[in-house]
Amino acid sequence: MSLNPFPETGQLRHMSMDELTELAAECRRTIIEQVSRNGGHLASNLGCVELTLALHRVFDIKKSPIIFDVGHQCYTHKLLTGRSGAFQKLRQCDGCSGFPSPAESEWDAAVGGHAGTALSTALGIGAARELAGNSDKVIAVVGDGACSNGITFEALNTCKAGGKNLLFILNDNEMSISPAVGALSAQLSKIISGRFYNKTRNAVRRNVKLWPKLHRFVRYIEDRLKSALLPPSAIFQSFGFRFLGPVDGHSLPELVSMLEKIKELEGPLLLHVVTRKGKGAYYAENAPEIYHGVGKFAADDGKLMPASEGFSAVLGKWMCKKAERDERIIGVSAAMIPGVGLSCFSEKFPQRCFDTGIAEEHAAVFAAGMAVAGKRPVCALYATFAQRALDCIYHDAVLGRVPVIFVLDRAGAVPDGPTHHGIYDLGFLRSLPGLVVMMPRNERELEMMLEHALEINGPVVIRYPRGGSKEKALPEPGPLETGKCEVLKESPEGPVIWALGAECGIAEKVVEILEKEKIAATLINIRFAAPFDRETALKFASRLQVVIEDHGIGGAGSALAEILSGIPGSRMAVFNWGKEIVGHGNVDILRKKHRLTPEDIAGEIMKILS
Amino acid sequence: MSLNPFPETGQLRHMSMDELTELAAECRRTIIEQVSRNGGHLASNLGCVELTLALHRVFDIKKSPIIFDVGHQCYTHKLLTGRSGAFQKLRQCDGCSGFPSPAESEWDAAVGGHAGTALSTALGIGAARELAGNSDKVIAVVGDGACSNGITFEALNTCKAGGKNLLFILNDNEMSISPAVGALSAQLSKIISGRFYNKTRNAVRRNVKLWPKLHRFVRYIEDRLKSALLPPSAIFQSFGFRFLGPVDGHSLPELVSMLEKIKELEGPLLLHVVTRKGKGAYYAENAPEIYHGVGKFAADDGKLMPASEGFSAVLGKWMCKKAERDERIIGVSAAMIPGVGLSCFSEKFPQRCFDTGIAEEHAAVFAAGMAVAGKRPVCALYATFAQRALDCIYHDAVLGRVPVIFVLDRAGAVPDGPTHHGIYDLGFLRSLPGLVVMMPRNERELEMMLEHALEINGPVVIRYPRGGSKEKALPEPGPLETGKCEVLKESPEGPVIWALGAECGIAEKVVEILEKEKIAATLINIRFAAPFDRETALKFASRLQVVIEDHGIGGAGSALAEILSGIPGSRMAVFNWGKEIVGHGNVDILRKKHRLTPEDIAGEIMKILS
């Protein structure tokens, strides 16, 4: 059904427009088929097919690398660069990843995954080339949503350094992940219907001919009029860009002809390309925020596999319920309102739900400002993107003991791979003075932790993984006390197993396996990664203590090690993702690779005990 | 000599313009006197005296809080809000801190220290007030330099949320810390000499009267003409701001009259105030980047106490020397070129030294881009500000194994206090896959580490504290090997003391004290916080192991604890800043408070051994 082998990038320059159009259709079919089978980023990739084909046709991509901002639009690029085979196993451990990765292919110049970095990377490459006297273009493809990210602005502001070689493609789909917010976005839409400018200009020109004295002055105005009536180009022009477009991003002839012209121009150049997210799959065009990052679905009608309830849904429900009685409750997120489960809240309380665009830092500080003024904001981010806001959590919430509840969703390993794992934040967060860091073991405990967080007059982090509880038969959570763990099962001897958050479900299975081998074990729900329950740790100091956590080093395992290292005779073992780069793919398979299944862990514990 | 008590904020509204002018002079005298005695931020504070007085005169600051971006311009505010006494001990442990601090005074609404957060905080407070129907102004004072920071842009882009109450004061001193870079800054200077616009407008108005048919159209153009000819206001206006000014920021009558008018307007408002950094001290006016953050100096002629050579100077010299023979060497910093010691490099190699403005994230990613293109960039930041770039170090350097050398200066406790200590980054950095993290014990070892970093084909972090070595008589550093410590002194028994970086000097003294008590000790220079030397740690597993580090929890102490926690019978103790907030003031006094002097540490070791 699909072309195999796919045409490679070098062949595109010999193809006719009809053949390119057919190739675009084939790319779409392949993308829809693979994403429907494996999950992935649908809407953003369908929006970028023609643009990517046109770039590969006009430029030698080895010499003129494409830096994809956020990286969630690189599928067509992958299909054209030797990975159409690996694409059949998209996002599987032995297939290709869903994001640009220099480790995967020399055709990917830079990592993509977090927003806002493409322009900086391209300017860096450009600056190096300027020094070497190399004038090959460096291409940054940036969605309008990613333009709301501060790093893009920082790069725009200094684009003189490295800008000569720069082609900045502004992929304007009026949509980042949820509809783009912000002034810049609002103005971009003005350009598209910028006919008023053209009419006005013509009227002025006609009239001026009648009155020669004004001629030179009006020419002067005219130059500036363009930027005045078309504010976004004014913004970009004022940063020193030559602004080109808009071009229909689904018309291959328009794109190719424009890019051919651009090839000869000196940068910094900005090409404004208007695309439609989800193009070619009606369900994704109609609801691109739903078909942004998806699990498996039916390729014909887009019917999604039912999502389990899980932690995100519980957050949303709790917010809705709580907000009715407590007007201090506020929701803040960074272009992730649906992903973190706040869609219902934003519909019910539109005045109290703030979407900052892809701007995690502003989201964190804005939430802190609201808390300073007496609100109780819940700032919900994906853990991996919250890494952007670590300094703000410290500077704007921790130092002033400002009571923001930071909720980090997708905290743990995820199928998207290295750019998206939420497994590196605990080492920093755990070290901050007075910051309480909790992880619930199941949905009920999340509710309890949210309630508990409201009672703490200071900043709190609540982290949980994608999905929900992994428990089978653990008891209902008991009452919470800051810095106290929950002993789920106590045996008078044998190993003491500490599990962080939803890993309690894994630990439960470990205990079962050990019991079959006649090894009684104690099972503890850590609850507080910080402050860690020192007292309970010391109580069991003479026994083997084991930590299971969905995190790299520096997390709960280190917290327990710090406590026990002062105690002669204590001994512990930690099961986490360690310090290697964790790949992409089904998390259960990743667990197998890293020897983190219940069987692996139980086996290892028995080895240590024997 | 100085007014004591100082007039308080509430009294200002009853003072005449002459009295206010006299008060401004008195504020300047006090600031110069105290900063010359205690060190502090001179130029930025002298530039803001009249602006602060005018704000306190016109607004009730309890109701209309002033959020100072970066916080290094709040001295006058402190003098007016009950802290003129504490100001006599500026930056001393028992005096007032140099930055806004809600813990210090209820007049400080938010923490300030890192750039770019004031607008977000003010919008957060504003949004909360809008919900409560409160229309008191919230005032953000932001320097033009801080406008180059991405968070400011993220906030500008969504200023509809919370903007009704906002008064954004753009303190334009054409200078952030080193001269501001970037497009925005360049354009601000155009406004100041914006007479062309006024002339043009008048010419158009005169002519249009002669030709009524064009009248309506020209009015339409005129509105937009303003933004076209005055690009920065165009930028801000396009974000939805009402742009007011420029006002002379050293004219109290102009400031007061403008602020009185503004009081009644609805936001978001932007008032453009032009000030001069260092105003009132000729040496600071002439060289504001030198008098930004200073140590003690002579108040009459500004003569600075001679700075010791130290780590920063060694970095600069090494860069200059190396760059002559290796054209891959590039310098990148974020508005900190002089502070990190790169002034000489930037003069000698202006094409190869990049200042991104106060934009640590862009600096890190830009450096990564240059490394992708074959350069070997050294990206030098202050450790505390590098917290902004933690995600970029991960996403853009670590994941692609991109060989950037990140140099974190001022890593450790500093006199400026909580907002500026560089003691929280190791927990995160240490957990990143493949990232090498080094700390040199003296200046010679820094050179060696820089050379070593060049040989590593991947990202490297080199951290060091303000100043230089604290050693007295330790041997010359021996050759470096990644992941291997340096044993400086080995004894066959007794405690094993691991010291990180310049703490080797402290550890040297600890060993001396122990030897006087007939306790032989082994002294180890850790060198690599990551990867930590597991082999040596295990070699000494049966002895008491001690870690001394200028960091909070999560650093080298945790690294050793992780290794030893699996070894029954091992025992260790860690001496670091722990998890409390570390205050401001002389670092030696802070060490005493936290029981981290050589005497304290030696005493504690003897206690454990006995």
Closest chain B C-alpha to A284 CA, distance in angstroms: 27
Task: For an interface test with B, give the residue of A165, A238, A328, A609 to mutate (most B CBs within 10 A).
Answer: A238
Count of alpha carbons within 13 angstroms of residue B416, beta-carbon side? 25
A534 φ/ψ angles, rounded to the nearest 5 degrees: -60, -40
**Candidates A110, A131, A365; nearest CB to B121:** A365
Helix axis angle, A215-229 to A195-210, nearest 10°: 170
CA separation, residue A116 to residues A143, A156, A176 (Å): 9, 11, 12
Contact A561 B565 (CB under 8 A): yes
DSSP string, B550-605: SS-TTSHHHHHHHHHTTSTT-EEEEES-TTSPP--S-HHHHHHHTT-SHHHHHHHH
B166 φ/ψ angles, rounded to the nearest 5 degrees: -85, 130
Closest listed residue to residue B148, CA positions, set B118, B176, B120: B176
DSSP string, B448-499: HHHHHHHHSSS-EEEE--SS----SSPPPP----TT--EEEE--SSS-EEEE
Q: Please provide the average confidence, as pLDDT, over all residues in chain B.
A: 90
At residue B198, the pLDDT reads 47
Q: What is the residue type of B241?
A: F
pLDDT < 70 stretches in chain A: 1-5, 174-234, 305-308
Closest chain B C-alpha to A308 CA, distance in angstroms: 30
**Candidates B330, B401, B427; nearest CB to A428:** B427
**Candidates B116, B351, B554; nearest CB to A430:** B554
Contact A110 B372 (CB under 8 A): yes
B33 is catalytic: no
- Please, which residues 431-460 of chain B have a Cβ atom closer than 8 Å to chain A? 431-434
The C-alpha atoms of residue A590 and residue A579 are separated, in whole angstroms, by 14
The C-alpha atoms of residue B437 and residue B461 are separated, in whole angstroms, by 5
- Please, which residues 214-273 of chain B have a Cβ atom closer than 8 Å to chain A? 214, 217, 221, 224-225, 227-229, 231-232, 234-235, 238-240
Q: What is the pLDDT of residues B492-546, one digit of tens each?
A: 999 999 999 999 999 999 999 999 999 999 999 999 999 999 999 999 999 999 9
Closest listed residue to residue B534, CA positions, set B564, B513, B503: B564
Contact A124 B240 (CB under 8 A): no
| Stated pTM of the model | 0.91
Contacts of A154 in chain B (CB under 8 A): 148-150, 153, 356-357, 359, 361-362
Q: Strand pairing partners for B332? A: B354, B379
At residue B479, the pLDDT reads 97
Contacts of A425 in chain B (CB under 8 A): 428
Contacts of B182 in chain A (CB under 8 A): 157-158
Active-site pick, A28, A276, A388, A527: A388
Q: What is the residue type of B281?
A: A
Closest listed residue to residue B553, CA positions, set B451, B427, B452: B427
Task: For an interface test with A, give the residue of B66, B68, B69, B120 to mutate (most A CBs within 10 A).
Answer: B120
The C-alpha atoms of residue B71 and residue B196 are separated, in whole angstroms, by 35
Dmax over CA atoms of chain A, in Å, equals 101
Could you tell me the two tokens for A550? 């969905």
- Please, which residues 305-364 of chain B have a Cβ atom closer than 8 Å to chain A? 327, 330, 351-352, 354, 356-357, 359, 361-362
Q: How many residues does chain B have?
A: 610
- Please, which residues 457-516 of chain B have a Cβ atom closer than 8 Å to chain A? none
At residue B299, the pLDDT reads 84
A388 is catalytic: yes
DSSP A304: B
A196 exposed, middle or buried (CB, 10 Å; 0-12, 13-18, 19+)? exposed
DSSP B41: E
Which runs of E-coded beta strand occur in A387-489? 405-409, 436-438, 460-463, 486-489
- Please, which residues 367-386 of chain A have a Cβ atom closer than 8 Å to chain B? 367-375, 377
DSSP A394: I
What is the average pLDDT across B583-603?
97
At residue A226, the pLDDT reads 44
Strands A528-530 and A436-438: antiparallel
- Please, which residues 560-589 of chain B have a Cβ atom closer than 8 Å to chain A? 560-562, 564-574, 579-581
Contact A388 B387 (CB under 8 A): no
The C-alpha atoms of residue B353 and residue B316 are separated, in whole angstroms, by 11
CA separation, residue A254 to residues A233, A250, A388, B120 (Å): 20, 9, 37, 41
Closest listed residue to residue B118, CA positions, set B80, B151, B164: B151
**Candidates B151, B187, B430; nearest CB to A554:** B430
Q: What is the pLDDT of residues B330-371, one digit of tens each?
A: 999 999 999 999 999 999 999 999 999 999 999 999 999 999
Contact A477, A503 (CB under 8 A): no
Interchain CB contact of B63 with A (< 8 Å): no
* Angle ∠(A14,A18,A22) on CA atoms, nearest 5: 100
Q: What is the pLDDT of residues B200-249, one digit of tens each?
A: 545 555 555 555 555 555 555 544 444 444 455 667 777 888 888 889 99
Alpha-carbon torsion angle B423, B424, B427, B430, nearest 10: -60
Task: For an interface test with B, give the residue of A392, A545, A565, A572 to mutate (most B CBs within 10 A).
Answer: A565
Q: Which ipTM value was assigned to this complex?
A: 0.91
What is the average pLDDT across B466-471?
93
Count of alpha carbons within 13 angstroms of residue B136, beta-carbon side? 17
CA separation, residue B429 to residues B396, B397, B605 (Å): 14, 12, 29
**Candidates B162, B352, B361; nearest CB to A154:** B361
Contact A424 B432 (CB under 8 A): yes
Closest residue, chain B, to A71 (C-alpha) = B395
Could you tell me the two tokens for B423? 């003691």
The C-alpha atoms of residue A167 and residue A243 are separated, in whole angstroms, by 10
Alpha-carbon torsion angle A525, A530, A535, A539, nearest 10: 50
Contacts of B99 in chain A (CB under 8 A): none
Interchain CB contact of A10 with B (< 8 Å): no
> Number of Cβ pairs closer than 8 Å across A and B?
426
Count of beta carbons in the 10 Å neighbourhood of residue B137: 26
CA separation, residue A232 to residues A123, A219, A239, B228 (Å): 21, 21, 11, 12
B153 exposed, middle or buried (CB, 10 Å; 0-12, 13-18, 19+)? buried
At residue A227, the pLDDT reads 41
The C-alpha atoms of residue A259 and residue A108 are separated, in whole angstroms, by 21
What is the average pLDDT across B167-189?
67
Closest listed residue to residue A405, CA positions, set A372, A350, A367, A373: A367
Contact A127 B370 (CB under 8 A): yes
Tokens 């193809």 map to which residue?
A15
**Candidates B123, B225, B560; nearest CB to A366:** B123
At residue B241, the pLDDT reads 86
At residue B6, the pLDDT reads 84
Contacts of A365 in chain B (CB under 8 A): 117, 120-121, 124, 151, 155
At residue A419, the pLDDT reads 96
Q: What is the residue type of A252?
A: L
A287 exposed, middle or buried (CB, 10 Å; 0-12, 13-18, 19+)? middle
Q: What is the pLDDT of residues B294-309, one digit of tens each?
A: 888 888 888 876 655 7
Contact B565 A567 (CB under 8 A): no
B277 is catalytic: yes
